Amino acid sequence: MAALSKVDDTFAEAFKMYGARIIITAINEKWATKAANCVTGFATSVIGCGCEAGIEGIAEDTPDGRSGISVLLFTMSKKALSEQLLNRIGQCILTCPTAACYNGLDSDEVLEIGKKLRYFGDGFQMSKVIGGKRFWRIPIMEGEFLMEESYGIKEAVGGGNILILGNSVESVLEASERAVSSTKNVKDVILPFPGGIVKSGSKVGSKYKFLHASTNTSLVPHLQAHASSVLPSNTVSVQELVFDSLSLEAIKEAMKKAILSALEIEGVIKITAGNYGGNLGKFNIYLKDVLEVDEHA
Amino acid sequence: MLKLVLKEKLAVPLELSVLRADILSNCSSACKISELPAYYGNSNAEIGDFFDVTGDVDSNIVIEGDLSKAKRIGEGMEYGNITIYGNVGMHLGEKMKGGKIIVNGNVSDWMGSNMSGGIIVVNGNVGNFACSSYWGEKEGVNGGVIFIDGSVGDDLGRRMRRGTIFVTENSGDFTGGEVIAGTIFILGSVGKSLGAGMKRGSIILSKLPELLPSFYYSGKFKPLFLSVYFEYFEREFSFKVPKKLKKAVFERYMGDFLAVGKGEILVCLT
């Protein structure tokens, strides 16, 4: 396939993270989605948001039988994950009309978020063990907020990425959108940036000492005269897709789908990936290897 | 699957505390199971004196026959499954820690008393003191799930501390007496002195009974945790929860204010 020649022989450098899956239910999908959007708001990058989060999809067979949305959250440490879950469940789900929150990840390692949030009940909270799981009933103005006590966590992979280079802003955006759509059915994966796409990929460090990350100059189309550009000269625009996942296999599958979908768009010049020479991340995901992955979804 | 069929009707009580799925599954053969001890009236006996034992030894046991005089089946069981076709005598699943017992028939008194885990399903009626503590003990049931598709007698769940009891029909007097915590569902009617002395815990009813004066009305709400329970019951026991319960608003009565007063009686409003 001629288009595959546009895929750079390089790798995406991904990092070890910790992930959790929560199931948000509500009286209907509209309100479950509102709560999920709130939980995953301002959660594009751990650099500035504390966590990376996104909507994984519709949750089937929820514990209370209502409409549900599955959300994945990722952080660099277990402590950070605990803080983020507590804050985001407390501020976004506890407050959202009719919403409830349940664990969506079976794991031996758990964070007991409900045990902390229960104190909102000011002594009137009650717990129930149903089917071997403990739930907390917290009295609120609406009636009762229900949440599961323990949330499974596991080691995860964050920062898998592809870069889509093209000869126009429109073509690159269209390719990126199509690439994001193609990953919708891949379980365990989210793309945490707006619409799954990031237009301002960063490099580590800056000429300014107070800044830890700055614009990735080698990928800015109009800085080719100033920086050591890696872009083909006819590049007009670049977009990046960042993937976080509960498993390496799932991230590879999503990357494959995204690459193949992006290549269908005329105007795409090249698909490459961001890395730091393999010096920072635990996982080096080679694009050529990704294209050989068997698809499950 | 191992099968035990009662040879003839029992004339006097037969104690069968060895009839536990975990004990039987550790026997080397059906022959060895036949040699396990039993107590028939005031004399020593063996399982093989009363049962035809057939099948492969594993942790799935089927028992058939009128066992209404057979006591202590599944007592202290930790894992495995027992399915009984016929009526069963006292102390079924007493002090049970795990596994599952299914009875297709009626069960006598003290069923599941002091159990701390596992599941008991009864497709029939149950006698008095089901899931209750023994007299003088501070705590009764400390975990597990009891699903009764029928009615129960008096003193259901006395001094229960944890666990869930679901009764699809009626229960007698002193249901949930001195409950410390846990959850009891009664879809039919209840007798007198419901929840007398209860400290915490929940009793869920489909209609308002005569409550003790030490229970106070505490408002109306829609408790979401019941939906989780109903989903669990439908999934685990294939029980179709009435629609009116699923969509209902409940009245809440708090009590017993002669005790701690943090118990709740939830009554379906339809």
Residues of A within 8 A of B241 (CB-CB) are: none
Enclosing H/E stretch for A177: helix A169-182
Give dist(CA B263, CA B71) in Å, integer. 33
DSSP label at A294?
P
Q: Tell if the CB–CB gap between A137 and B228 is shorter than 8 Å.
A: no
For chain A, what is the total number of helices (H) and then of strands (E)? 7, 16
- Alpha-carbon separation of residue A14 from A217, A242, B181 (angstroms): 20, 10, 48
Which of A65, A126, A143 is facing B227, going by the closest CB pair? A65
Please give the C-alpha separations between residue A199 and each of A39, A45, A165, A215, A236, in angstroms, as whole numbers.
22, 13, 11, 10, 13
Q: For residue B68, report the phi and psi dihedrals to the nearest 5 degrees.
A: -65, -15
B232:A100 CB<8 A: no
Q: Angle between the A248-262 and A169-182 helix axes, to the nearest 10 degrees?
A: 140
The pair of structure tokens assigned to B68 is: 């209404």
Cβ within 8 Å, pair A63-B225: no
Q: CB neighbours (10 Å) of residue A198?
A: 20
CB contact under 8 A, B223 and A128: no
Low-confidence ranges of chain A (pLDDT < 50): 297
Whether A144 has its CB under 8 Å from any CB of chain B: the answer is: yes
pLDDT in tens, B99-110: 999 999 999 999
Residues of chain B with C-beta less than 8 angstroms from the C-beta of A143: 221-224
Contact criterion met (CB < 8 Å) for A63 and B236? no
Name the interface residues of B facing A (CB cutoff 8 Å): 143, 162-164, 183, 200, 202, 221-225, 227-232, 236, 264
- Asked if A128 and B200 come within 8 Å (Cβ–Cβ), the reply is no
Q: Cβ contact (<8 Å) for A137 and B225? A: yes
pLDDT in the model for residue A292: 87
Which residues does chain B have within 8 Å of residue A23's beta carbon, measured at their own beta carbons?
none
Q: Are B94 and B116 in contact (CB under 8 A)?
A: no
Picking from B202, B221, B231, the nearest residue to A143 by CB comes out as B221
Q: Do A143 and B232 touch (CB under 8 A)?
A: no
Collect all residues of chain A within an 8 Å Cβ-Cβ radius of residue B143. 129
The complex's ipTM works out to: 0.93
Alpha carbons within 13 A on the beta-carbon side of B2: 28
- Beta bridge mates, B190: none
% of chain B residues with pLDDT over 70: 100
Nearest CA distance, A278 vs chain B (angstrom):
47
* Residues B224, A129: C-beta atoms closer than 8 Å: no
Nearest to A297 by CA among A208, A218, A187: A187
Give the type of residue at B200.
Answer: R
Phi, psi of A155 (to 5 degrees): -65, 140
| Alpha carbon separation from A214 to A204, A229, A276, B13 (Å, rounded) | 7, 15, 14, 83
Give me the residue from A130, A144, A145 closest to B229, CB to CB. Answer: A130
On the question of pLDDT at B253 being above 80, the answer is yes
- Cβ distance A64 to B221 less than 8 Å, yes or no, reads no
Structure tokens at A292: 């050989």
DSSP three-state, residue A94: coil
Q: How many Cβ atoms from other residues are within 10 Å of residue A15's Cβ?
A: 17
Closest partner CB to B224 (pick from A129, A131, A144)? A144
Which residues in chain A have their CB less than 8 angstroms from residue B225's CB? 128, 130, 135, 137, 144, 146
Of A278, A247, A251, A270, the closest CA to residue A191 belongs to A251
Question: What is the C-alpha separation between A162 and B51, in angstroms, rounded?
Answer: 69
Q: What digits encode the pLDDT tens for the residues B103-142? A: 999 999 999 999 999 999 999 999 999 999 998 999 999 9
> Are B229 and A128 an interchain contact pair (Cβ–Cβ within 8 Å)?
yes
Q: Is A66 in CB contact (< 8 Å) with chain B?
A: yes
Q: Do A143 and B202 touch (CB under 8 A)?
A: no
Average pLDDT of span B154-178: 97
With an 8 Å Cβ cutoff, is A141 touching chain B?
no
- Residue A83 to chain B, least CA–CA distance (Å): 25
The SS3 assignment for A203 reads strand
For B162, nearest residue in chain A (alpha carbons):
A129
Would you state the pLDDT for residue A296? 58
User: How confident is the model at residue A295, as a pLDDT?
Assistant: 61
Which residue of chain B is at minimal alpha-carbon distance from A128? Answer: B182
Question: Residue A286, SS3?
Answer: strand
For residue B184, what is the nearest residue in chain A, using CA coordinates?
A: A128
- B221 CB neighbour count, 10 Å cutoff: 16
CB contact under 8 A, A135 and B228: yes
Cβ(B67)–Cβ(B51) below 8 Å: no
Cβ-Cβ contacts under 8 Å, A63 against chain B: 228, 231
- φ and ψ at residue B40, rounded to 5 degrees: -110, 110
User: Model confidence over B26-63: pLDDT tens digits?
Assistant: 998 888 999 999 999 999 999 999 999 999 999 999 99
Which residues, 6+ apart, have CB-to-CB distance to B223 below 8 Å? A137, A143, A144, B250, B266
**B81-90 per-residue burial string, b: 16 or more CB within 10 A, e: under 16:** bbbbebbbbb
Cα distances from B27 to residues B23, B33, B40, in angstroms, run: 7, 6, 22
Q: 3-state SS of chain A: helix, strand, coil percent to 5?
A: 30, 35, 35
Nearest to A75 by CA among A104, A103, A101, A111: A111
Rounded to whole angstroms, the Cα distance separating A271 from A170 reads: 16
Q: Which residue has the higher pLDDT, B1 or A192?
A: A192
Distance CA A17, CA A245 (A): 9
| A126·B164 Cβ contact <8 A | no
Q: Which long-range contacts (CB under 8 A, 24 or more apart) does A126-131 make?
A: A126/B200, A126/B202, A126/B264, A128/B183, A128/B202, A128/B225, A128/B228, A128/B229, A129/B143, A129/B162, A129/B163, A129/B164, A130/A63, A130/B164, A130/B225, A130/B228, A130/B229, A130/B232, A131/B232, A131/B236
CA B101 to chain centre: 10
Whether B232 and A66 lie within 8 Å, measured CB to CB: no
Q: Which member of B200, B231, B264 has the closest CB to residue A64? A: B231
